Homo-oligomer: A and B are copies of this chain.
């Protein structure tokens, strides 16, 4: 028996890069959380401790901050492509660099004043290899809710099944979605805005027999709308809202017809699904290491 080093990667996670553009009195802000990692022929670092091929994670951090100035942040995808290309160039042993970005949106209060918007977070994961490059755009913490037009019935039952069938329930989720582009010549900001709009309008407009069906409709709508997107993957907690039982209260005429719910924390349903174009190019290592997806 012998042991062998398996897959490995290393990098600097969660660099909180804030870029102010102040070329005019009307400033702009881009607020990012940037993580980088390198993969490749780093076996010596593991087996003998030799760091000669290792570009330090501290240098990766410095690169992420410097490129916010040197390249700028027109879009998270564009910025991540620049950082990834730089890292693989600077580190010959690397076979690929992965750059993951989360962007927090701000609303303007004045020329140099902003209030953080909250709500959903835009994401990008870019993998720059020696031969190919992959871009995943995405969104997380997108919390959506339909207060009706959602049912759940006709399901399989066994001796542990106690859930009643229902024709009317709240459907809510805190969506994580990522979609893979087939190329890199994309108007990233326009594509993102259109994608978010498509996902939201489809969620709102779809009668739901299960969260799975709603996610599938959302994925099909996105692929239908943007030919440059090869596939989309969802991770969707079913955020249960349980109707509160008023039957035990001794109050005349008090009813609860889908009006008062308790929002539960745990446990929660968790649905993961993919919708893919049937002629999509291979994903390669585009999804490697991205947590929370099938």
A residues near B (Cβ < 8 Å) are 1-22, 27, 29, 31, 35, 37, 39, 42, 45-59, 61-63, 65-66, 68-70, 90-91, 106, 109-110, 112-120, 141-149, 152-163, 170, 200-201, 203-205, 208-210, 212-213, 215-216, 219-220, 223-224, 227, 231, 233, 237-238, 241, 244, 246, 248-251, 254-279, 288-289, 291-294
Contact = CB atoms under 8 A, between A and B. Distances in A.
A216 B47 contact: yes
Nearest to A162: B248
Contacts of A255: 69
Contacts of A257: 22
Contact of A261 (B10, B18, B156, B273): B18
A16 B271 contact: no
A12 B269 contact: yes
A65 B262 contact: yes
Nearest to A18: B261
Given A254-B66, A267-B61, A270-B10, A262 B213 contact: no
B259 A20 contact: yes
A152 to B, nearest CB: 7
B267 A265 contact: no
